[in-house]
Structure 1
Amino acid sequence: MQHAFLTRTAALVFALTATAAIPARAEEASTAEQTIDVMNTLFGKHAGIRANHAKGAVVEGSFTPSKEAATLSKASLFKGPAVPVTARYSNATGVPTIPDGSPNANPHGLAMRFKLADGDMDVVTNALKYFPVATGEEFRDLLTAVSKSGPDAAKPTPVETFVASHPAAGKAGATAKTPTSLGRQTFNGVNAFLFVDVAGKKQAFRWRIVPVDGEELMPPDEAAKQTPNFLMDEIRARLAKGPVSYRVEAQLPEAGDPINDATKPWPDDRKSVNMGTLTITKAVADSAEAEKALLFMPNALVDGVEVSDDPLIDARVQAYAVSFGRRSQ
Structure 2
Amino acid sequence: MPLPSDENVVQTSSAIVSTLHGIFGPHPGFRPAHAKGVLLKGTFTPTAEAKMLSKAPHFNNISTPIIARFSSSTGIPELPDTDPNGNPRGFAIRFVLAETPRRVHTDIITHSVDGFPGSNGQDALEFFTAVKDGTIGEYLASHPKALAFVQAPKPTPASFGKEKYFGVNAFKLIAADGKEAFIRYRIVPSAGEAYLDEAALKDKSPSFLYDGVPELLESGPIVFKLKAQIAEDGDVTDDNTAKWPEERRVVELGTIELQSVADDQAAQQKRIIFDPIPRVEGVEASADPLLEVRAGIYLISGRERRAA
Asked whether the two chains share a fold, i.e. TM above 0.5, the reply is: yes
Task: Tell me, yes or no, if structure 1 residue 238 matches structure 2 residue 225.
Answer: no
Could you report, residue by residue, the CA deviation over 1:230-273 in whole angstroms, capped at 9, with x for unpaired residues? 10110121112211111100111223322111123223222111
**2:148 match:** 171
| Ranges in structure 1 where 5+ consecutive residues have no aligned partner | 1-26, 150-157
**Contact 2:10 2:293 (8 Å CA) reproduced:** no
Give the root-mean-square deviation of aligned CA atoms: 1.8
Assess, with a 3 A threshold, how the Cα gap between structure 1 residues 198 and 285 changes in structure 2: closer, same or farther.
closer
**1:108 match:** 89
| Equivalent position to 1:226, from 190, 198, 204 | 204
Residue 224 of structure 1 and its aligned partner are, at CA, apart by 4.7
Assess, with a 3 A threshold, how the Cα gap between structure 1 residues 307 and 61 changes in structure 2: closer, same or farther.
same
**Contact 1:64 1:278 (8 Å CA) reproduced:** yes
Q: 188-197 vs 264-273, which deviates more? A: 264-273
| Ranges in structure 2 where 5+ consecutive residues have no aligned partner | 1-7
**1:160 match:** 137
Q: 254-263 vs 88-97, which deviates more? A: 254-263
Residue 221 of structure 1 and its aligned partner are, at CA, apart by 4.0
Alpha-carbon distance in 2 for matches of 1:122, 1:84: 12
**Contact 1:129 1:176 (8 Å CA) reproduced:** no
Could you report, residue by residue, the CA deviation over 1:124-151 in whole angstroms, capped at 9, with x for unpaired residues? 11101111111111111111111121xx
**Contact 2:73 2:88 (8 Å CA) reproduced:** yes
Residue 214 of structure 1 and its aligned partner are, at CA, apart by 1.1
Paired residues, what number? Answer: 295
| Equivalent position to 1:281, from 220, 238, 259 | 259
| Runs of 4+ more than 6 Å apart | none
| Equivalent position to 1:198, from 176, 179, 185 | 176
Residue 29 of structure 1 and its aligned partner are, at CA, apart by 7.9
**Contact 1:112 1:124 (8 Å CA) reproduced:** yes
Within a 5 Å distance, the mapping from 1:58-207 to structure 2 comes to 58-117=39-98, 119-149=104-134, 158-173=135-150, 174-207=152-185
Structure 2 length-normalised TM: 0.91
**1:214 match:** 192
Residue 216 of structure 1 and its aligned partner are, at CA, apart by 1.1
**Contact 2:9 2:293 (8 Å CA) reproduced:** no
| Equivalent position to 2:21, from 27, 40, 65 | 40
Secondary structure at the residue paired with 1:175?
coil
Identity %: 37
Structure 1 length-normalised TM: 0.86
